[in-house]
Amino acid sequence: MKINKKLLSVLLFVITFVGATSYLNVSAQDNPISNEQINRIYTNCTLTKNTLNQIHASDALLRVNMGQIYESMSNKLMTRFNNRVANNNFDNKSLKSVTDSYNSTLDTFRTDYKRYEEHLTAAINIDCKKQPVSFYDAISSARSDRGRVHNDIVKINQFIDQYQLAVGEFEKNYIDIAGGAKN
């Protein structure tokens, strides 16, 4: 019984220590800004908001213009070429596989951009003079979302390159088959 009590007290101590440490960590992550930064946010509030509004508008334009090209690459080029290859009874598996990955990444890009835009709008709507810490946190959140959107774009570009390579491979095979048929 005595051992059990000791064990219990040690266990309680460990739980309290771990709990307190994790709470302190979370608090530090929630509020990583100094008083100087808070003052800076307060002073530059209007300027920062204007900059955010400009980024919001220019990113929306980029999303619309680039989004059109990305979708057209899939709908007007990749899918049509894949269908034509399949209609002529050639193997289009590798081409189709890259197109599927491209489309899937395009879907992720759409979702990630939506989340980014929502978080940036939330940051813009926060009163930075009254809630500088929340404003800073909202910007940090939008910043990481924007990074995610950029990663999606990098992946999309990689798939564009991969499709180019797949077309090259197809061309090689086609020449081999066409050459073999002539001989």
Partner 1 sequence: MEKSNISTENHEYSFIEKHSFFIFIALSTFIAAFVVVVSMIMYNGSGAAQLDLSRPGYVSVRSQAKTDSTDFQNYSSTGKIEKSDINEFKTLYDKQAQRVKVVDAFGGDPLSPEALNISAPTE
Binding site for partner 1 (CB under 8 A): 33-34, 36-37, 40-41, 44, 47-48, 51-70, 72-73, 76-77, 79-81, 83-85, 87-88, 90, 110-111, 113-114, 117, 120, 136, 139, 142-143, 146-147, 149-150, 153, 156-157, 160-161, 163-164, 167, 170-171, 174-175, 178
Name the strand (E) or helix (H) holding 74.
Answer: none
CB nearer to partner 1: give 22 or 54. 54
CB of 31 to partner 1, least distance (A): 13
CB of 25 to partner 1, least distance (A): 20
Round to whole Å and give the CA distance between 172 and 151.
32
116, exposed or middle or buried, with CB in 10 Å at 0-12, 13-18, 19+? buried
CB nearer to partner 1: give 4 or 87. 87
Residue identified by tokens 């919001």 is 56
CB nearer to partner 1: give 81 or 103. 81
CB nearer to partner 1: give 21 or 37. 37
133, exposed or middle or buried, with CB in 10 Å at 0-12, 13-18, 19+? middle
Round to whole Å and give the CA distance between 35 and 141.
20
Let me know how long the chain is: 183
